[in-house]
Structure 1
Amino acid sequence: MSIPEEARLHIVVVGAGLGGIAAAISCATSGHTVEVIEQARELAEVGAGLQITPNASRLLRHWQLPDSIWEAAAEPTMVTVHRYSGEILAHEDEFDKKIQAKYGAPFVDLHRVDLQQALFARAKDLGVVFHFSQRVESVESETTTVRTVNGSQYSGDLIIAADGLWSRCRESLLGRRDEPLPTGDLAYRIVLTADQVADPELRALVENPQVHFWAGPSAHAVSYSLRAGKMFNVVLLVPDNLPAGVSRQAGSVEEMRQLFANWDPILNKFLSYVDTVDKWKLMHHAEMDRWVNEASNMVFLGDACHPMLPYLAQGANSSLEDGAVLGLLLGKMKDKSQLPGILRLYESLRKSRGEAIVREAFKQRHDFHMPDGEEQIKRDQVFLSQLGKEIKGAFPSRWTCPEVQPWLYGYDAVAEVEKAVEENPALFFIE
């Protein structure tokens, strides 16, 4: 995209997570100069699975990511919700075809590393410069400068704060420490290879991509395939018993198995193949009053401003949306004087949606973590009354809920920006 020379920004993105690289791609595509600073030494070859829903998969196509990303994906053909003991509560066949038909973009399961590396390669192709081993020490809004612990400094016209849950940029905006708060849950994240799974029934589940949920008392589990059925991802969400101040720790396989001992035998068979596991404390933040600073030279996206619990798998998807919308709006600039107005338009387009998804994820946690009892019996009646039928009305699994799914998956960042530009002609008009 070509924008006038007088509108070209020098943008410093803080954080090379998915949201930061997405913003870098979107801003570079719009004609701006972008550099990214990241505290890690390199983009590490670690991580687990991600569910990339149509609201984000359409962006991966829009950014022209290489074909390798689609070859590394698994597209689930069905979604099933089980009661923790194994009985089926909800089931949707031909999920891949239905999603494509409804939203014109796929629902795919990817390894985080595959997505991050594809985004990274695309950003470098677009001329984005990355600086690793740069831990932020301070952010100066007077000079639009980020200073790092090793004495480097990066200045520009705009700082994009994409530095996640423990954001130093957020602390700079608020003028105080702002530790994330525990949610009361932790996650066990497990990745198995198909070769590790000897049982032929289980191997078939791995090699024929599908998504399974198990909803149980105070906990739930989700499983899905990665890398075209060559890997398998299991996430177990359970009450948090990590010490205060510890966000990640090696877990006990025995303790994990004990927590799920009376759950579905199929889930337990998968857990029998696990030999090491980590525990991740699930954290969140209160809503921020604003996502743009007073000087209009720092703007927030992703976990830095709306960290999400993983119950709707929208953390990564929503960060990609943020980056896309911000970069697309900045591509409409004709003069740098428009920057404050454009940043506030970005905030108005993204803040209410991001925070609504955060709230919806908490509701999904409630519906999947019910203890046995009267409320759970009512929930299961709603599930079973729709089994084998076209679902109507509010539904306890938002993954196939006809009220929530279209709102989540039908979002089109490119169309939203075009509509916002049409509705705000004065903002984009320069005499």
Structure 2
Amino acid sequence: MSTETGFGYTKIAQPNSTGIKVIVVGAGFAGLACAIESRRKGHEVYILEKFKELKVLGDIISFGNNTGRIFERWGLHDQCVFWPICTHHTSLTIHNAEGEVLVVQDLQNPLFGAYAYNGHRGQLHERLFNYAKSIGVEIRLGQDVSEYWETESEAGVICNGERLSADMVVGADGVRSKARTLVLGYEDKPKSSGYAIFRAWFDCEAQGVDKDPLTDYMSKNGDAFHGWIGRDVHFLASTSGGGKAMSWVITHKDDADIAESWSFPGKMEDVLAVVEGWDPRCAAILSKAPSCVDWKLVYRDPLPTWISKGARLALIGDAAHPFLPTSIQGASQAVEDGVTLAVVLQLAGKQNVPMAVRAWEKIRYQRVRRAQLLGESNRDMWHKAKSNAEGETVTLPRPEWLLGHDAEKHAYEVFETTVQEIQEKGYELPTLPPPLPVVAVAA
């Protein structure tokens, strides 16, 4: 592995050069990103994943420019790994429920010096998975992690009945994280957010999108991106692959009990009922889907901490901070988590892993919460807008503080002062940032 320098530090270290051993539980985007950057920073790392084989599943996923700059640094843009399978929208057209255009928002890409990547979740995941393997990340499939543990000098898991140990464990095991119980000291239960999403992904030609005058504009001129907003509802539809595939998501009020499941097959009559009386193009697009998923949006109050008492276990991604889809940042913040953690471990060294983990939480916590709050304000902006809302009041914000961020560079820049503050004041639980300014929309 070559050595590349920049920002005054060694960006790529020799394999296993730090002596730090990391176990990552979960091979989703958070776990893969953490393992990839850990490998690049010279840590010994392997991933434990419960699934026995990789399956290309899911629908649309978005990575902001803040994560795009990381993917580009890994070579995933120049090597044409991600870009060919992504959507290439130049604008988002937002309509009211009657079909009148409220705003056509420019979607400049690249922005703030980096690309954004939006595409099929399963396809992008498959390519990131293969990239991780190509640089030497060991991924063990079919691994059932039943327990997490830590001592003063190490941490580990019980996996398939075997006790495994490392310098630290990364819980990237999603919203139903078992690692969260060790961190919190109790089992944290999700609750309903009051909203749910119907979502689908399908082939345009097979479903006759190009033959219906109410839907053909979504496929005949390349990739298109349209949204409709109404009281407590927003509906987004887009095409990719030059108009060959379509995905849609429609967010609506739903107070269903989520004790048993939050994702299951949706019923088309329920989907169409949400847009009854709306612009007929909405029902036309929705009804093209051969099937859909009914996904209940679970919510968790911000966790008081993402790290264990001994600071040798860290929660990242959805295990630590589930996001609303309207933030368009859940996957991006998960990647930032993993990259930042790998950097601080490199800077702290093997003898100071707990300090690195505490510094990581301090670096990440308020930024992540601020991004979460943006998802809530985006949803409220659309769901409370009047049908004659001015364009700028329903435009998705794309702030530089969020999309222009470089997680790797930032970690190198603030690590020393962060550690110094912890040493002087002692470790303190993170504090929540102040609420974002209320978006001025008509009630």
TM-score with structure 2 setting the length: 0.85
Q: Do the aligned residues in 1 keep the contact of 2:265 with 2:294 (CA within 8 Å)?
A: yes
Q: Give the one of 321, 325, 330 matched to 2:336.
A: 321
Measured against aligned partners, the alpha-carbon deviations of 1:277-336 in whole angstroms (never above 9, x if no partner) come to 220111121111222222121112111111111012111111111112112222334x31
- Please state whether the residue corresponding to 1:238 is helix, strand or coil: strand
For residue 166 of structure 1, what is the amino acid of its counterpart?
A: R
RMSD between aligned residues? 2.2
Partner of 2:81: 68
CA pair 108-130 structure 1, distance change in 2 beyond 3 A? closer
Partner of 1:291: 306
State how far apart, in whole Å, the 1-side matches of 2:400 and 2:418 are.
Answer: 26
For residue 49 of structure 2, what is the amino acid of its counterpart?
A: E
Partner of 1:182: 192
For residue 175 of structure 1, what is the amino acid of its counterpart?
A: G
Residue 272 of structure 2 corresponds to residue 257 of structure 1: yes
Partner of 1:215: 229
| 5+ residue gaps, structure 1 | 371-375, 387-394
State how far apart, in whole Å, the 1-side matches of 2:105 and 2:150 are.
Answer: 51
State how far apart, in whole Å, the 2-side matches of 1:227 and 1:40 are.
Answer: 29
Q: Give the one of 119, 128, 131 matched to 1:122.
A: 131
For residue 367 of structure 1, what is the amino acid of its counterpart?
A: M
Partner of 2:367: 353
Higher relative CO (CA 8 A, sep ≥ 6), structure 1 or 2? 1
State how far apart, in whole Å, the 2-side matches of 1:421 and 1:73 are.
Answer: 34
Shift of 1:3: 6.3
- Single out whichever of 106-115 and 298-307 deviates more from structure 2: 106-115
Identity of aligned residues (%): 27
CA pair 229-418 structure 1, distance change in 2 beyond 3 A? farther
For residue 293 of structure 1, what is the amino acid of its counterpart?
A: S
- Please state whether the residue corresponding to 2:82 is helix, strand or coil: helix
Shift of 1:70: 0.9
Residue 87 of structure 2 corresponds to residue 48 of structure 1: no
- Single out whichever of 28-37 and 56-65 deviates more from structure 2: 56-65
State how far apart, in whole Å, the 1-side matches of 2:410 and 2:163 are.
Answer: 35
Partner of 2:296: 281
Shift of 1:20: 0.7
Partner of 1:238: 252
Q: Give the one of 32, 37, 40 matched to 1:21.
A: 32
State how far apart, in whole Å, the 1-side matches of 2:361 and 2:352 are.
Answer: 14
State how far apart, in whole Å, the 2-side matches of 1:3 and 1:426 are.
Answer: 28
State how far apart, in whole Å, the 2-side matches of 1:79 and 1:396 are.
Answer: 11
State how far apart, in whole Å, the 2-side matches of 1:60 and 1:229 are.
Answer: 25
Partner of 1:106: 115
Q: Do the aligned residues in 1 keep the contact of 2:197 with 2:252 (CA within 8 Å)?
A: yes
Partner of 2:424: none
Q: Give the one of 208, 211, 215 matched to 1:199.
A: 211
Partner of 2:404: 410
Residue 131 of structure 2 corresponds to residue 79 of structure 1: no
- Please state whether the residue corresponding to 2:39 is helix, strand or coil: helix
TM-score with structure 1 setting the length: 0.87
CA pair 11-208 structure 1, distance change in 2 beyond 3 A? same
State how far apart, in whole Å, the 1-side matches of 2:372 and 2:278 are.
Answer: 28
For residue 124 of structure 2, what is the amino acid of its counterpart?
A: L
Equivalent positions of 1:323-342 (< 5 A) are 323-333=338-348, 335-342=349-356
Partner of 2:433: none
- Please state whether the residue corresponding to 1:353 is helix, strand or coil: helix
Partner of 1:154: 164
Residue 20 of structure 2 corresponds to residue 9 of structure 1: yes
Shift of 1:163: 0.9
Measured against aligned partners, the alpha-carbon deviations of 1:188-244 in whole angstroms (never above 9, x if no partner) come to 111121212133653442352233221111211112223443211100111225444
Residue 376 of structure 2 corresponds to residue 365 of structure 1: no
Q: Report the number of matched residues.
A: 401
Q: Do the aligned residues in 2 keep the contact of 1:75 with 1:106 (CA within 8 Å)?
A: no
For residue 326 of structure 2, what is the amino acid of its counterpart?
A: Y
Q: Do the aligned residues in 2 keep the contact of 1:162 with 1:303 (CA within 8 Å)?
A: yes
Partner of 1:301: 316
Q: Give the one of 127, 141, 144 matched to 1:135.
A: 144
> Where has structure 1 moved over 6 Å in runs of 4 or more?
3-6
- Please state whether the residue corresponding to 1:68 is helix, strand or coil: coil
Shift of 1:106: 2.0
Q: Do the aligned residues in 2 keep the contact of 1:76 with 1:109 (CA within 8 Å)?
A: no
- Single out whichever of 205-214 and 37-46 deviates more from structure 2: 205-214
For residue 53 of structure 1, what is the amino acid of its counterpart?
A: G
Shift of 1:5: 6.8
State how far apart, in whole Å, the 2-side matches of 1:426 and 1:238 are.
Answer: 46
Shift of 1:414: 2.4
State how far apart, in whole Å, the 2-side matches of 1:361 and 1:380 are.
Answer: 23
State how far apart, in whole Å, the 2-side matches of 1:244 and 1:5 are.
Answer: 43
CA pair 260-173 structure 1, distance change in 2 beyond 3 A? same
Q: Do the aligned residues in 1 keep the contact of 2:324 with 2:376 (CA within 8 Å)?
A: yes
For residue 188 of structure 1, what is the amino acid of its counterpart?
A: F
State how far apart, in whole Å, the 1-side matches of 2:80 and 2:286 are.
Answer: 33
Measured against aligned partners, the alpha-carbon deviations of 1:35-91 in whole angstroms (never above 9, x if no partner) come to 111122222221010122211111111122241321111121111221122111121
